[in-house]
């Protein structure tokens, strides 16, 4: 399940409880608002997930559950053979 700002429910509450280890003042109210998004971004940075987007998808869930994040296959660095174009 993908969680992002505007989503409500038990899955959000579960996420918020996990995120409290990164931002202890976060309340587990089941509402994914700006504070939850900020806590997700903080967690993503600390877990090595870049760029931190504030959205909880499979990679973020995996990292929060102790699985190592996989390196991104997409690079924002222009390739040598096509200057100025993203891979």
- Tell me the pLDDT tens digit for each residue of 4-44: 999 999 999 999 999 999 888 899 999 999 999 999 999 99
Mean per-residue pLDDT for 33-62? 97
State the Cα–Cα distance between residues 15 and 57, nearest whole angstrom: 11
pLDDT the model gives residue 24:
81
pLDDT the model gives residue 76:
43
CA 80 to each of CA 74, 77, 84, 86, 87: distance values in angstroms, whole numbers, following the listed order: 15, 9, 9, 10, 10
Contact 40, 60 (CB under 8 A): yes
Q: What is the pTM of this model?
A: 0.76
């Amino acid at each position: 399940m993908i969680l992002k700002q505007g989503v409500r429910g038990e899955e959000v509450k579960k996420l918020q409880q996990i995120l409290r280890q990164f931002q202890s003042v976060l309340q587990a109210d089941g509402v994914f608002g700006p504070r939850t998004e900020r806590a997700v971004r903080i967690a993503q940075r600390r877990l090595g997930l870049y760029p931190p987007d504030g959205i909880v998808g499979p990679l973020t869930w995996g990292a929060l559950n102790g699985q190592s994040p996989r390196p991104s296959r997409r690079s924002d660095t222009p390739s040598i053979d096509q200057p100025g174009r993203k891979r």
